Amino acid sequence: MALDEREVQREMDAAAHKLRKEKKRTYGIGLLKGLAVTLRHLFKHNTVIEYPDVKQDLPSRTRGVIALKEENCTVCMLCARECPDWCIYIDSHKETLPPKRAGGRPRKRNVLDRFAIDYALCMYCGICVEVCPYDALFWSREFEYAEYDIRELTHEKEKLSDWMATVLPPPALEEGALLPGQPEPPAPAAPSGDGAAAVPAGDTGAAEMKPASAARPATQTASAAEVRPEQAADAPKAPSAVQEPAGSEHEQAPAPAATSATQVEEGQPPTKAETEAPAGSAAATEPEAQTRAVRESGDSPSATARGEATGEIETPAPAAVPTPTEDPDEVYETVLKDQLEAGSSPQVAEARAKVARVKAERGVRRAPTPIETEKKVPSAPVTGHFTEPVPGGAPAAEEPKPEQGPVEPTDEEKGPDG
Amino acid sequence: MTQIRTPEDVAREVAEGGLATQQMILNVGPQHPATHGVFRLLATIDGEILAEAEPVIGYMHRGYEKLVEARDYRQITNLVSRMDWLSGFNNELPLAMALETLMEIEVPPRAQWLRVVMLEMNRILNHLMFFASFGAELGAITPTFYAFREREDIQLAMESATGGRMHFGFMRPGGLKEDVPRGFIAQALKSVRQVIARLDQYEDLLVGNEIFKQRTVDVGVLSREQVMSYGVSGPIARGSGVSDDVRKDEPYLVYDRFDFNVPIGHSGDCFDRFWVLVHEVVESARIVEQAIEGLPAGPVLGKVPRVIQAPEGEVYVRAENPLGELGYYLASDGDRRPYRLKIRTPSFNNVSVLPEVLRGTFVADMIAILGSFFFVLGDIDR
Amino acid sequence: MEAAWQEGLFFVFATVITVSAIGVVTARNVIHAALFLVATLIGAACIYILMFAEFVAWAQVLVYVGAIVVLMLFGLMLTRAPIGKYGEYDNDQKGLAAIVAAAVFGVTAWVLIDSFEGVELPTDRVAATTSKDVGEAIFSSYVLPFELVSVLLLAALVGAVVIARRDERVTSRTIDAARREKAREEDV
Amino acid sequence: MPEFIQNFELTAWWILAIKLIVVLTVVPVGALAGGYALHKVMAHLQHRLGPMYAGGFHGWAQTLADGIKFVLKEDIIPEKADKPVFKYAPAIIFIPILLLYLVIPVDRRLIVQDLDVGLFYLLAVSSIPAIGILMAGWSSANKYALIGALRSAAQLIAYELPIVLSAATVAMLAGTLSVVGIVEAQDWPFLFWPPGIGLIAFIIFFAGSVAEMNLPPFDMPVAESEIITGAFTEYSGMRFIFGYFFAETAHMIAFSGLAVTFFLGGYRPIVPWEPLTVIPGIVWFMLKLFVMVFLYLWVRPTFPRLREDQLQKFAWKGLIPGSLGLILVAGAWILYAPEWLWH
């Protein structure tokens, strides 16, 4: 404990301290200084925010209240189960829907009857938002929901759904941020590189609006631009595996066969549109525009986009592929065949096949929760439902492991001195 | 107020048949403005002298150590952040470190550096709070408002990253929940630099003030020996000249890469404790600046299994909380929940030395001493 | 006309004084007794004012009410003044005390009547004694008694300090200093 | 009743009565304004805004609203309290403070009663509230209240002397005890002539008055972090504001008035230049009063609180010997300073 340099430092500090104490006999100088400090503040510009009249622009990550996107909820009960203080109440019933195609089997579906959060119990930990696999729960920065009676703090799904309108899209990430094994950061560069005209337009439109949201598209493009060289430097670490899942997942995306896939596919983009809607700005529609642009550009838009964004990364990439044990596409085909032969409906078969393919890609042993989605990141509007790990979500964080392998050592080498 | 006698004097006078005034038992708390919560001090006073002071704790006992045995690790992370509510992020760290040790998770460098940034910002938050409350306890209410203004800036930066203002819940075994948003670094740097720039003024307001010196210098002296025998840690121990700082002694995360000093007091009085506190703010700010400067790029979450399930084993991890040494002794039987989590909180040990320090002081000094012990009730009772 | 006002007010104040004086001796609570004493003293000050002896009146308030009674209350509260009724202060010498009080009253009344009978009290400001008069009187014709009283008070003060002072007073500061000293020794 | 009207003395009584009524209305209004100033000045010194809502414009009606709120609140008397003493204590605190206003000359003629021994009267009256505080503290049946009351009394006894002595210095220099006389005797540059004496006397008076009014940094009797609100811990509603809050602001304004009268030349213009002398004395007085009130409010949030024994030490070892020495110096000045130095 008592290292030599520590001792020396202690001596020095003690000496400095003594000096300070010597200043004890100042006879009123300190008092006058104190008076000067307070007097200076009398004439300083006041930074008080007069709350009910003026509202603070809170960050979009603010954990104010939990909003519910009702149509995304499949009553999987994960949130209620994971909640540390059991403040989520869910009631539901099963509903049988007629088969989609003639001769198909009637489908069963959970219908949400009641979704309530007791905010008197809630401790705002956000676990429910994290674990929700279907993007049904969001944090809103709303905070004015006080009630006169503690019982009224149990807010039902109507109120929770109303808050959906106040949910902001997540912020762009800080420079140098890299989601593990995922080259999503450059994704926004695609529209900016492809249709450069679209972004400035959105940008100028945004400038007139709320600064918080307006800044986002701009920073996104900026981030992409800045991040690129860095990525180039880290070329070997950028796993080409991501390309493949990206492509493959995109193939799946337009095929809304499985219920879960449907929900994600339909649910995700509108979420963004909706969340942006209150801002009502050009910026708000921007992500959606991006989304659409990406989606409309064909079957493998993300591949092209990615190719442009990551540029030279593409070439060295295959070398770094953490080779899956089986070829995912083969797995897909076999599973699809097996399933169809086993009598599953085409939709179910397709869904299972996809799951199997993803599993094969990742070498995952355990069955994952139905679908992991990347939440609320406008930078990746369509792609990556399967491969994208939720940045913070513990469950999602697990999958990208193999892809992440090559990332680490390089990072570690350059990290500390950087 | 010239009737100044120690308990021994009173006893002697009574024995001699002299004039003995009655001793009075004064319950300071459990609801008292100077105790920052439900802390009770059973004070036996003789006039304005404290003959005996016995801290009574436990009014806020929430049974954390038992509670966590029924929670999985993700939930515990959010629970322990509420233990010492002024330094939530610092509370979460040792738990994550314990799990990382048991599960052999490697934390990506960016996560480590970001953790340092936020830990030190949280330390500044905590220290500013005590800067504020100590002034208020001595009757100077203005530092409170200034310190809260600074706190607000840092808190906003933290909120933009974590979404929380006090309970961040941002720590994950293996890294952080997610990366910080764009603009966070600029905001953090600005807010921290602002604190440093303004700290001079605040020093004028308190540290240099004659009345403040009168109230704190040579008041409530805590000797090195007492520090050692009671296991006092943190700024209080350092105020008495004990240079214990886990960040230096057993560098965790990447603390060994930063250049910072550990301010050390000399005489162990209230002034020294406060002085150490104020100067730790400066050092923390230096660390934040360095950490931001050298922040590497990369992921913020290492390879973490889906279900956090510590393998069978035991580990004790300690870290430097703003208030002292925080240790988690984690015993796992391989379940998703800890078999036992023993928490060694700094405040608990720090207040245990109070009776020794308080004996024979004035009632007014008692307030100064209580204020200079920088304890958080949740941290004591937990 | 003016004299009538004065007379009327005099009786009011006299009643206040009498009632509160009786209160002083009959109150069962020391603090109440002391507070009755305040009323008595203020009543007396009012009577001085009626006689345009303002200086004396305010001196009475400043010294007796503002200082002496405060000190008395201070002492009583510090030592033995539980709230509420507080036992009997009467004792066996009640009768004797009554006789002595009556005698003192008789003597004082007789002396006052004997020497001031027929003297008109001043009824307006012009005839009143000003502070200037008081000052001149004290520092010229009565300077010796004034100084004597001063010396007496000083002696009383010194005596009080001597009685009250005890050696080896231990203050919290000295305790702290001793502790610090000890700590330093151990440090070395 | 012509006779009645013509009777000079009687009209004097009537005028006195009217003046009293004026004082009785001015003082509460002044206390309200003082309370508002307290809120706002302190807020801005602390980088806040203070009240902004009540009344609309910068919360001007805040103290009024507070007052109404307090009046409407339940007046709780603890069961174990000594009820009569508890009830009358606020009156005994507040009334003497009101009486202080009687002799403060707002202008040469704007004074309720210019007493021959005005200064003496002020000092005598200002010593009475201590009894009220003692009563309040003792009768509350609360240990914190009792400690507060005892601290208050000890403080008052200690700080009465420096105030009296510094005021005596002023009276010596002015050669009169009448407040109007004192004002008239002062001349430009008031505080600074005779050199040093006035200034030091002012500082002593200021420190003493801060202690006597229990304002920070000498507010141990009501130190909220130590003994809650001292003697007023158990008070609520109307008795609380009259005993504590109102009394505090009214006291502060009264003492500001006294300081202006004794040291800053009262209603006289700051500089005796031609255009300035046209401005009525009341304006000058109010101006100086604001400065004084600001001084009190400025010191209030800036300094930490002293400890009781340190306060006593400060009084007995610092202020009292200092003011005694000052009296000596003032006497020497009066006796030996050559005539041309006087003005």
- pLDDT for C104 beyond 90: yes
B41 located within any domain: yes
Query: Does the bond joining D90 to the residue before it have cis omega, within 30 degrees of 0?
Result: no
**Cβ <8 Å between A173 and B106:** no
| Cβ under 8 Å to D: A residues 20-49 | 31, 34-35, 37-39, 41-42, 44, 46-48
B60-116 pLDDT tens trace: 888 888 888 888 888 888 888 888 888 888 888 888 888 888 888 888 888 888 888
pLDDT of D47: 80
Cβ neighbours of residue B341 closer than 8 Å, sequence gap 6 or more = B65, B68, B69, B76, B95, B328, B329, B330, B331
Mutate to test the interface with B, among A13, A40, A124, A173 (most CBs of B within 10 A): A13
Same domain, B50 and B81: no
Q: What's the domain count of chain C?
A: 2
Specify the higher pLDDT residue, C172 or B147: B147
| Residue pointed to by tokens 């233990």 | B83
The domain of D53 spans 7-342
**Which of B4, B223, B361 is opposite residue C169, by nearest beta carbon?**
B4
C48 located within any domain: yes
Of the pLDDT bands very low, low, confident and very high (cuts 50, 70, 90), residue A11 is low
Specify the higher pLDDT residue, B374 or C152: C152
pLDDT, mean of residues C63-85: 72
- pLDDT for C148 beyond 80: yes
C121 located within any domain: no
Residue B37: phi and psi, rounded to 5, are 145, -160
pLDDT of A404: 38
pLDDT of A255: 37
Query: Does the bond joining D189 to the residue before it have cis omega, within 30 degrees of 0?
Result: yes
C111 located within any domain: no
- pLDDT for B369 beyond 50: yes
By C-alpha distance, the chain A residue nearest D51 is A50
pLDDT of C106: 93
Same domain, B236 and B320: yes
Contact C43, C17 (CB under 8 A): yes
The domain of C27 spans 1-83
Query: Does the bond joining B30 to the residue before it have cis omega, within 30 degrees of 0?
Result: yes
Mutate to test the interface with B, among C174, C176, C181, C188 (most CBs of B within 10 A): C176
Residue type, D274: E
- pLDDT for A293 beyond 60: no
- pLDDT for A33 beyond 70: yes
Which chain A residues touch D49 with a CB distance below 8 Å? 46, 48, 50
B64 located within any domain: no
Three-class HEC string of chain B: CCCCCCHHHHHHHHHCCCCCCCCEEEEECCEEHHHCEECEEEEEEECCEEEEEEEECCCCCCCHHHHHHHCCHHHHHHHHCCCCCCCHHHHHHHHHHHHHHHHCCCCCHHHHHHHHHHHHHHHHHHHHHHHHHHHHHCCCCHHHHHHHHHHHHHHHHHHHHHCCCCCCCCEECCEECCCCECCHHHHHHHHHHHHHHHHHHHHHHCCCCHHHHHHHCCCCCCCHHHHHHHCCCCHHHHHCCCCCCHHHHCCCCCHHHCCCCCCCCCCCCHHHHHHHHHHHHHHHHHHHHHHHHCCCCECCECCCCCCCCCCCEEEEEEEEECCEEEEEEEEECCCCCCCEEEEECHHHHHHHCHHHHHCCCEHHHHHHHHHHCCCCHHHHHC
- pLDDT for C100 beyond 90: yes
Q: What is the pLDDT along chain D (343 residues), one digit of tens a residue?
A: 344 444 555 566 777 777 778 777 877 787 788 888 888 888 888 888 888 877 778 878 888 888 888 888 888 888 877 888 888 888 888 888 888 887 788 777 667 666 777 777 888 888 888 888 888 888 887 778 888 888 888 887 788 888 888 888 888 887 777 777 777 777 766 666 677 777 888 888 888 888 888 877 788 777 777 777 778 888 888 888 777 878 888 888 888 888 888 888 777 777 777 776 677 777 788 888 888 888 888 888 888 888 777 888 888 888 888 888 888 888 888 777 776 666 5
The domain of B138 spans 70-380
Specify the higher pLDDT residue, A12 or B138: B138
| Cβ under 8 Å to D: B residues 93-152 | 135-142, 144-146, 149
Same domain, B342 and B249: yes
C176 located within any domain: yes
| Coil vs helix vs strand at A359 | helix
Of the pLDDT bands very low, low, confident and very high (cuts 50, 70, 90), residue A249 is very low
- pLDDT for B19 beyond 60: no
> How far is B51 from chain A, CA to nearest CA, in Å?
29
pLDDT of B5: 53
pLDDT of C107: 94
- pLDDT for A261 beyond 70: no
C103 located within any domain: no
pLDDT, mean of residues C113-130: 69
Of the pLDDT bands very low, low, confident and very high (cuts 50, 70, 90), residue A256 is very low
Count of B-D CB contacts under 8 Å: 89
**Cβ <8 Å between D298 and A34:** no
SS3 content of chain A, % helix, strand, coil (to 5): 50, 10, 40
Cβ neighbours of residue A154 closer than 8 Å, sequence gap 6 or more = A89, A116, A117, A118, A119, A120
pLDDT of C99: 92
C187 located within any domain: yes
D213 located within any domain: yes
Q: Which chains touch C (3 or more CB pairs under 8 A)?
A: B, D
Contact D161, D321 (CB under 8 A): no
Percentage of chain A modeled with pLDDT above 90: 0
CA gap D323, D163 in Å, rounded? 9
Which of A38-47, A147-156, A207-216: highest mean pLDDT? A147-156
pLDDT, mean of residues C11-36: 86
CA gap B244, B232 in Å, rounded? 10
Q: Does the CB of C167 have a partner CB in chain B at under 8 Å? A: no
User: What 8-state DSSP symbol labels residue A417?
Assistant: T
B336 located within any domain: yes
pLDDT of C155: 92
- pLDDT for B227 beyond 70: yes
Count of C-D CB contacts under 8 Å: 95
Q: What's the domain count of chain D?
A: 1
pLDDT, mean of residues C153-179: 68
CA gap D117, C134 in Å, rounded? 11
Specify the higher pLDDT residue, B282 or A178: B282
B61 located within any domain: no
pLDDT, mean of residues B310-326: 86
> How far is D294 from chain B, CA to nearest CA, in Å?
16
**Cβ <8 Å between B163 and A59:** yes
- pLDDT for B283 beyond 80: yes
Q: Does the CB of C175 have a partner CB in chain B at under 8 Å? A: yes
Residue B234: phi and psi, rounded to 5, are 80, -160
**Cβ <8 Å between A46 and D49:** yes
Mutate to test the interface with D, among A42, A48, A49 (most CBs of D within 10 A): A42
| Cβ under 8 Å to D: A residues 360-379 | none
D311 located within any domain: yes
Q: Which residues pair with B331 in a beta bridge?
A: B314, B340
pLDDT of B345: 87
Same domain, B110 and B193: yes
pLDDT of B14: 54
**Cβ <8 Å between B367 and D226:** yes
**Cβ <8 Å between D302 and A44:** no
Contact C/D (≥3 CB pairs under 8 Å): yes
Same domain, C5 and C75: yes
C154 located within any domain: yes
Three-class HEC string of B176-204: ECCCCECCHHHHHHHHHHHHHHHHHHHHH
What are the CA-CA distances from residue B317 to residues A170, A194, B158, B252, B275 (Å)? 34, 51, 25, 10, 28
Contact B375, B323 (CB under 8 A): yes
D2 located within any domain: no
Residue type, B104: E
By C-alpha distance, the chain D residue nearest C67 is D157
pLDDT of C102: 92
Query: Does the bond joining D194 to the residue before it have cis omega, within 30 degrees of 0?
Result: yes
H or E element in which residue A66 lies: strand A65-68
A383-415 pLDDT tens trace: 334 443 444 433 333 333 333 333 343 444 444
B65 located within any domain: no
Alpha-carbon torsion A229, A234, A236, A241, what sign? Answer: negative
By C-alpha distance, the chain D residue nearest B33 is D225
**Cβ <8 Å between C83 and D127:** no
B361 located within any domain: yes
What is chain B's mean pLDDT, rounded? Answer: 82
Of the pLDDT bands very low, low, confident and very high (cuts 50, 70, 90), residue A5 is low
Contact D204, D161 (CB under 8 A): no
Residue B263: phi and psi, rounded to 5, are -60, 135
B97 located within any domain: yes
Q: Which of C123, C104, C112, C109 has its CA nearest to residue C10? A: C123
Domain boundary among C45, C60, C83: C83
**Which of D80, D139, D157 is opposite residue C70, by nearest beta carbon?**
D157
Cβ neighbours of residue A67 closer than 8 Å, sequence gap 6 or more = A137, A138, A139, A140, A142, A160, A161, A163, A164, A166, A167
- For residue D218, how many other CB atoms are within 10 A of its CB? 29
**Which of D10, D121, D149 is opposite residue C58, by nearest beta carbon?**
D121
Q: Which chains touch D (3 or more CB pairs under 8 A)?
A: A, B, C
> How far is D321 from chain C, CA to nearest CA, in Å?
16
pLDDT of D259: 86
Q: What's the domain count of chain B?
A: 2
Same domain, B241 and B340: yes
Which chain B residues touch C79 with a CB distance below 8 Å? 21
B278 located within any domain: yes
